[in-house]
Structure 1
Amino acid sequence: MATRKEPQITTPNARSKLKSRGAPYYRLVHAGLYLGYRKSKTAGRWVMRAYAGDKNYVVETLADADDGERQPDGVDVLDFQQAQDRARERETEIRADATGRRFGPYTVADALDDYLRDKLGREGRDSAEARRRCGDIAAAIGELEVGKLTKRDIRAWMESIANSPPRLRGGKFAQVDMSDPQVQRRRKDTANRYLNDLKAALNFAVEEDHVAPGAWRDVKPYKLVSQNRPRFLSLDEITRLLNACPPDLRALVNGGLLTGARRGDLVHMRVGDFVPESQAVTIGNRKSRYKGKPPFLCYLSDEGLRFFEAHTAGRDRQEPMFLRDDGRSWREDDIARPLKAANKAAKIKPAASFNVLRHTYASLSLMNGMSQMAVAQNLGHADTRMVEKHYGHLTPDWRKEQARHIPEFGIQVGNVEPIRSGR
């Protein structure tokens, strides 16, 4: 069987003997890849034809050929060997795009994309706030290669955040006094939160074997800038808020106050999660469940037990624990508007979110004698560090009252007074 003779396009002299035509003269590079030479009346150009899968081919122009007086520069004018190399590079990129694989250096933007994709897969929903923060990071340092990322790069980026005013939704900078110590503290606190997001994305990249651990792990956040005094509601504010809530939202707010559960955990809770024989509810803490940790039991007060007994009476175990008045399940995005209206009607300023309800549960429980470990476990924490960090602000009167529980040590106090200077 006769074989097809390939066109001679390897040298300028051989190409000069070809006729001008619109169709390229193709030469096989390897299976699925052809390098072509398209000759016009004035000049010649290199083109490629690569198999992209599913019976599809991609045809692209690569660069000018080194015909006549044009000398190859490896960029705009290529000789035959350079054109082959360029074709192979583009073929790799095309096949990577077709299969979803990454090509080229692994950048900070790549790590953020992978992290967000994993977050969406784990949590089953898109997070606009996470996308916004990761988008801000990518805009600032996304082009940097993770393997070459230095502590100096990250510190300079953090300083740029700390030294600039906050951005408004439209992209403009807010009008704030950057010399104000409170403004400076808040901007450094914001830089710390962005650093946490960056480290989370890079740590995920390490777990997925995209990169090796780098110097970025040693970058420290700004110290003493976090506001470790979460706000909580007084008993009077709780009463006003509950009275202002419509019945369906009131049940959800009650659930938050009686368990300290996050908003997302409440909307995903089922009737069967109530365990009356243990006086507890099962909370599938989404933050820990997707790291392999099981759901946990939150033990209820007597008031909490009475609420859940009444709320679940006669209902199917698979039914969502909290339903809207129209019978539909609550979604996290459904809560903000009615809760805002309830806060306004109750005259609670600033408005209480479900995070505030969580802080209220923890703070009032501690102030009424619950141990830090019990509070931590009911909130789903592995130890007391988060409780100690966020709730060390409890009122001096409460701490003074707690000092009464310090035991007597049997120390004998005589009637001898210490000598003071000046006497």
Structure 2
Amino acid sequence: MSKTLTEAALTTRNARAGLAEGVHWRGLSPDVHLGYRKQKRGGRWLVRWYQGDQKYRQATLATADDGKLEADGVTCLTFEQAKTAASRHVSTKRADDLAAADGPAPTVRTAIDAYLVTQEAREVARDGQKASRGDARLRLTRHILSSPLAAKMLHALKESDLSKWRDGLSGDLAATTVRRITNDLKAALNAAATKHRARLPAEIPLIIKNGLAGSHAETPTARDKSALPDGDIRRIIAAAKAVDDRDDWNGDLLRLVVVLSATGARFSQVRRMAVGDVQQSRLMVPTSRKGRGVKKASHIAVRVGTDVIATMRPATAGRRAGDALLERWRHKQDKSQEKAPWVRDTRGPWLNATELSRPWAEIVRLAELPADTVPYALRHSSIVRQLRNGLPVRLVAALHDTSTRMIETHYSSAIIDALDELSAGAVVPLMPPENDGDKVVPLRAG
């Protein structure tokens, strides 16, 4: 650095009033200086910081509280406020320089784009070229990439930016949807924080964690209230068969609904079932891919009735064990004809739960159930059915590829009902029986 800094008296209005017109400096650190430009009418605060090679960068901060001006902490600053603003400005600029050192500074948008590319590449490697892009892209595009948060630089990201975005989500979104969106965003930001850690502040993981934490503890949802009686499940299956026959699904729709009902598995699990997973009296359901670093068995054996096995036979006859069990036709428009009708094109496995949305709405209507009944109700119903039949919670959790904690949290009333019936058998009379023959009857005197 060049010259020795000559410290100027800048701390008070009176001290600054005695200075000559021009720029005066005071050191805040060896390479950061707070400046004051004295003018005929008042002055302005400046800051400069050392860049190396005998060079400084300089910026104007705000107006000084000289004369009749009163400090407001934003456009007009006292000496102490100017010191704070100078330190903050230099820290921000240095963070900007560090973040942009090896190319454009990463943003929330670039973090999400990189995350989606990685996720979709993983899906293609796992499921082949016909893999669905999943719901993550739709959720992130709709709720984050279209919001101001997307343009935020990661190095300048604050907890308030994230909490403000979360609080601004539509109140119409279900709690589970908000949780999925938040988890996707958190995963994208954490991946970017790891990749660019040399260019980002050390506290960025903590900012992500705290900024995306819920504003209050979420009340566990009583999912057993969404369970359906066995009679309603049968009506759903009957309605699925009617829609299947009417719309020429060739049994594809019926088989999907039957497997979901019989196993209580998630759509993402049953869509991966193979022909060889149908055994004499059970279905082998692939375990979910949920849980990071958790070692699982590849399949879960679920006992089913002979009626379910019989329904699966058309999908297994003459096919190889490794073929996808549940398939469907996809259609395209035949533009060679005048009205360009939709005709069958290719056949392949179900890819995404949204493919069930349209036929499911018709199934619910024909079954005369509430319009807000969702396919996941089949899973709730399976769990509650087993609990009320006295199966141990741990076994129910294992058969549905979840944890006992999750079962106990969300299906507590079904557990209480089952335990109440079991405990009723342990009730025994405690009061001693009354025996009329043991009673002494006094005789009357003669």
- TM-score normalised per structure 1: 0.58
Structure 1 residue 390 and structure 2 residue 410: aligned?
yes
Deviations 1:310-345 (A, max 9, x none): 634654212221244889334235432222222211
Q: Do the aligned partners of 1:262 and 1:354 also contact (CA within 8 Å) in 2?
A: no
Taking a change above 3 Å as real, the CA distance of residues 234 and 413 of structure 1, as seen in their structure-2 partners, is same
Distance 1:113 1:392 in 2: 40
Structure 1 residue 201 and structure 2 residue 193: aligned?
no
Superposition map of 1:139-178 within 5 A: 139-161=147-169, 166=172
Structure 1 residue 255 and structure 2 residue 263: aligned?
no
Q: Which runs of 5+ in 1 are unaligned?
A: 1-72, 74-92, 97-101, 167-185, 416-423
Aligned partner of 2:361 in structure 1 is: 340
Q: Per-residue deviation at 1:131?
A: 2.6
Taking a change above 3 Å as real, the CA distance of residues 143 and 226 of structure 1, as seen in their structure-2 partners, is farther
Q: Do the aligned partners of 1:274 and 1:308 also contact (CA within 8 Å) in 2?
A: no
Q: Per-residue deviation at 1:235?
A: 0.9
The CA RMSD measured in Å over matched residues stands at 3.9
Distance 2:263 2:175 in 1: 32
Q: Do the aligned partners of 1:282 and 1:295 also contact (CA within 8 Å) in 2?
A: no
Letter paired with 1:114: A
Q: Do the aligned partners of 2:384 and 2:414 also contact (CA within 8 Å) in 1?
A: yes
Structure 1 residue 108 and structure 2 residue 108: aligned?
yes
Aligned partner of 2:341 in structure 1 is: none
Aligned partner of 1:283 in structure 2 is: 286
Letter paired with 1:127: G
Superposition map of 1:259-274 within 5 A: 259-274=263-278
Q: Do the aligned partners of 2:262 and 2:308 also contact (CA within 8 Å) in 1?
A: no
Taking a change above 3 Å as real, the CA distance of residues 158 and 188 of structure 1, as seen in their structure-2 partners, is farther
Q: Per-residue deviation at 1:270?
A: 0.7
Deviations 1:74-133 (A, max 9, x none): xxxxxxxxxxxxxxxxxxx9xx9xxxxx83222211221122222222233213564333
Aligned partner of 1:368 in structure 2 is: 389
Letter paired with 1:227: T
Taking a change above 3 Å as real, the CA distance of residues 273 and 189 of structure 1, as seen in their structure-2 partners, is closer
Q: Which moved more, 1:392-401 or 1:142-151?
A: 392-401
Superposition map of 1:6-405 within 5 A: 103-123=103-123, 124-128=131-135, 130-138=137-145, 139-161=147-169, 166=172, 192-206=179-193, 208=195, 213-219=205-211, 220-221=213-214, 222-225=216-219, 227-229=221-223, 231-245=226-240, 246=244, 247-276=251-280, 279-287=282-290, 293=295, 296-303=298-305, 307=309, 311=313, 312=316, 315-324=319-328, 328-331=347-350, 332=352, 333-381=354-402, 383-394=403-414, 397-404=417-424
Distance 2:357 2:269 in 1: 16
Deviations 1:148-192 (A, max 9, x none): 32323222333333xx654xxxxxxxxxxxxxxxxxxx6877655
Deviations 1:269-306 (A, max 9, x none): 111123559x4504152445x96855533222252796
Q: Which runs of 5+ in 2 are unaligned?
A: 1-57, 59-99, 124-130, 245-250, 330-343, 434-446
- TM-score normalised per structure 2: 0.55
Taking a change above 3 Å as real, the CA distance of residues 146 and 414 of structure 1, as seen in their structure-2 partners, is farther
Q: Do the aligned partners of 2:263 and 2:382 also contact (CA within 8 Å) in 1?
A: yes
Distance 1:318 1:189 in 2: 34
Taking a change above 3 Å as real, the CA distance of residues 136 and 306 of structure 1, as seen in their structure-2 partners, is closer
Distance 2:161 2:312 in 1: 57
Q: Per-residue deviation at 1:198?
A: 2.2
Q: Do the aligned partners of 1:343 and 1:352 also contact (CA within 8 Å) in 2?
A: yes
Taking a change above 3 Å as real, the CA distance of residues 152 and 238 of structure 1, as seen in their structure-2 partners, is same
Q: Per-residue deviation at 1:204?
A: 2.9
Taking every aligned residue pair, what percent have the same amino acid on both sides? 25
Distance 2:306 2:153 in 1: 52
Would you say how many aligned residue pairs link Structure 1 and Structure 2? 292
